[in-house]
Structure 1
Amino acid sequence: MSTPHDSHQELSVSGGQAQPPARFENPGLHEHKPRQADVDPRVTKRVERQVLLLLTLSILGTIAVVWAYFALPPGDTVGSMRLSNLVLGVGLAVCLLGIGIGGNYYIKLLMSNREYVEERHEIRSSDETREIAVQMLKDGGEDSGLTRRGAIIGAGVTALALFPLSLLVPLIGNVGEDWNVRKFKHTIWKKGTRLATDPTGRPIKASDVTIGDVWHVIPESLEDLHEGKLDEKAKAVVLLVRLDPRDLKSDQSPEGETWSHDGIVAYSKICTHVGCPVALYEQQTHHLLCPCHQSTFDVADSCKVVFGPAKRPLPQLPITVDDEGYLVAQGDFAEPIGPSFWERATK
């Protein structure tokens, strides 16, 4: 049989069910175990040097990001873009990791890890209690060691102050970039330009495309992709699909001109939501899916939006065939390609 204890510690039985005690004994705080840095000054100095090094690396990382933004613009080649992105990414990683790891290291190994308990009081404390609280804050600041470690304070403040530059500098200027969005109103597609496979540039005959086929297409005139024409390719990429002509609900312009050829239709691959590449085609439903945010377009019905955040159909490239049977463009896209938040006027 169990020995009865105080009533507030026992489980009382009422109606056959155990009832929780009215209150529990306060177990108190766990025994404090000092860290090496608390008892060994050599360890303390070593940790201080490590924290200082990490914060200094953060400062250097921010400087590297700012320098790379101006000194290493993306340029027009794959190599220059890769180098610019690499330096910016590494610099941003160093400045963030330096602050994060350095700050966490300092908190865990140098700041006081003792637990303090203060009994709850009613609303406003007395003046005497407030004076005690202020003194406790001062003692806590002294206990943290910050008042005695000026170098770490200076490095930490400098790292935090410089870090926003790595995010703000790209927003302030447009070094190496061209933000004239009016250029998206037109691409290099022109009347008579042959449709070619991406990336080989081989012209496509209508007879090569069978029902259900999906082709990634670029203009045949797009050459020397690594010499200043990457931006032109980005604007001109097209997805070519062949359907059974009986499945097409619409293949005409507002003026009544036919924009397809024997069930073959061509649409811009650039999603009208935020510009991701649309390339997932479902043959049975004729739906075209954007993998980024799941905007879905109906290829059989002028690529109108059937689901997702996109607000505008994919621009259609009017196509036909030339005398040799090759697929050619009748002209440029009917309207500007790309996300809908840009100005949509076509003139």
Structure 2
Amino acid sequence: MSGQTPSKSERAASRRIAVAFLVSAAGAVGFAVTYGLNGGTQWEGVCLAVAFAGLAVGLAVWSRRLVPVGGYVEEHEGFVPPPAEQAMTAAVFRAPESPTRRWGLLAALGFALTALGVAALFPLRSLLPWDRQRPTRSLKDTPWGPGIRLVDDQGRPLRPDDVPADTMVAVFPEGSIDVGDAPAFAVRLNPERFIRQPAGGHLGGLVVWSLLCTHAGCPVRLYLKGAGRVLCPCHQSSFDLLAGARPIAGPAARPLPGLPIEVGPDGFLRATGDFTAPPGAGFWSRP
């Protein structure tokens, strides 16, 4: 009995188990590749789901189809089995259908577990100090920087004269119009009315601030002419541009970050650096 070759159902189960473990390994490799290429958290989640699902299916089929189940009662007088029984037990473990002899399945399981273990190391890259995209830095850095020209929503560079007095104009970094934390707005105010100097400075009253509310990141698109104030329509936070864009009403607790600007040799407005503070809503180290 112990020397019989595996049955047809056992061979089919072995194939299903091997395929499940290989699918698990493929999912783990897919996760590592997707993470390395910044393919998006959705695809990373899909790959992890495939990896763990394949591992779970393989182990479930193995335990259900190949591992003996049931209750066994053996009555004997002593604790040392007779020689014939010892020989039979040894033959069982040497038999082709014994779980300890299924080297192919064990190799597939080891490959799947190794792939998952290696894939689990990839997210640590985000925490390493030399990683340019680690979470803390990605929340603070934006596409703005020295020499980046200010453009409108059509990508046209702006000159100082393109910002009329007491008018709010949406501006973006050239080449990065669609980046979520990059939108800003320019407004020309009377510098004699400044109660507090803008954090990013100004060019004869021309000032640029982040367009994102510091409460929840909504765009502060409502401008109150004459009063020098902007209002966030989401939760009614109000910012006084004449006092350094500090919040004067609503749930926002931080002023709008300013953007330092200059006029380039070509006559167009350019940034001289990034925002004076991280734009948008707060995060774990910045409420």
The normalised TM-score by structure 2 is 0.51
Question: Quick one: which amino acid aligns to residue 304 of structure 1?
Answer: R
Structure 2 unpaired stretches of 5+: 1-30, 32-38, 43-122, 124-132
Name which of 205, 209, 227 aligns with 2:159: 205
Root mean square deviation, CA, Å? 3.3
1:305 — aligned with what?
247
Report the count of equivalent residues: 166
The TM-score, its normalising length taken from structure 1, stands at 0.43
Q: Summarize deviations over 1:19-45 as a string: whole Å, max 9, x none.
A: xxxxxxxxxxxxxxxxxxxxxxxxxxx
Cα 1:341–1:211 change in 2 (3 A) is same
Aligned to 2:208: 266
Determine what percentage of the aligned residue pairs are the same residue. Answer: 41
Q: Secondary structure at the match of 1:236?
A: coil
Among candidates 222, 232, 237, match of residue 290 of structure 1: 232
C-alpha distance in 2, partners of 1:210/1:283? 12
* 1:242 and 2:188 aligned: yes
| 1:241, distance to aligned residue in structure 2 (A) | 0.9
Q: Does 1:329 align with 2:271?
A: yes
Whether 1:183 aligns to 2:125 is: no
Structure number with higher relative contact order (C-alpha < 8 Å, ≥ 6 residues apart): 2
SS in 1 for 2:267: coil
Partners of 1:181 and 1:342 within 8 A in 2? no
Q: Distance in 2 between matches of 1:184 and 1:242?
A: 29
**Aligned-pair distance for 1:249?**
2.5
Matches within 5 A, 1:214-229: 214-222=168-176
* 2:235 alignment partner AA: H
CA offset at residue 191 of structure 1?
Answer: 0.7
Retained in 1: the 8 A contact 2:260–2:273?
Answer: yes
Flag the 1:252–1:240 CA change in 2: closer, same or farther, 3 A: closer
- Do 1:197 and 1:203's aligned partners in 2 also have CA atoms closer than 8 Å? yes
Amino acid at match of 2:141: H
Q: Does the 8 A contact of 1:319 with 1:329 survive in 2?
A: yes
Q: What is the CA-CA distance between 1:221 and the residue it aligns to?
A: 2.8
- What letter matches 1:214 in structure 2? M
Letter of the 1:197 partner, please give it: D
Deviation per CA, 1:104-139, whole angstroms, max 9, x where unpaired? Answer: xxxxxxxxxxxxxxxxxxxxxxxxxxxxxxxxxxxx
Shift of 1:323: 2.0
Deviation at 1:302, TM superposition (A): 1.2
Instruction: Give how far 1:179 is off.
Output: 9.7
Contact 2:163 2:186 in 1 (8 A): no
Kept in 2, the 8 Å contact 1:281–1:288? The answer is: yes
| Counterpart contact for 1:318–1:329, Cα < 8 Å | yes
> SS of 1:240's equivalent?
strand
Question: Which secondary structure does the structure 1 equivalent of 2:180 belong to?
Answer: helix
User: What is the 5 A alignment of 1:1-347?
Assistant: 180=135, 182-198=137-153, 200-222=154-176, 230=178, 233-253=179-199, 259-344=201-286
Q: Structure 1 stretches of 5 or more lacking a match?
A: 1-69, 81-173
Distance 1:280 1:342, change over 3 A: farther
Distance in 2, matches of 1:234 and 1:181, equals 16
| Superposition deviation, residue 197 in structure 1 | 0.3
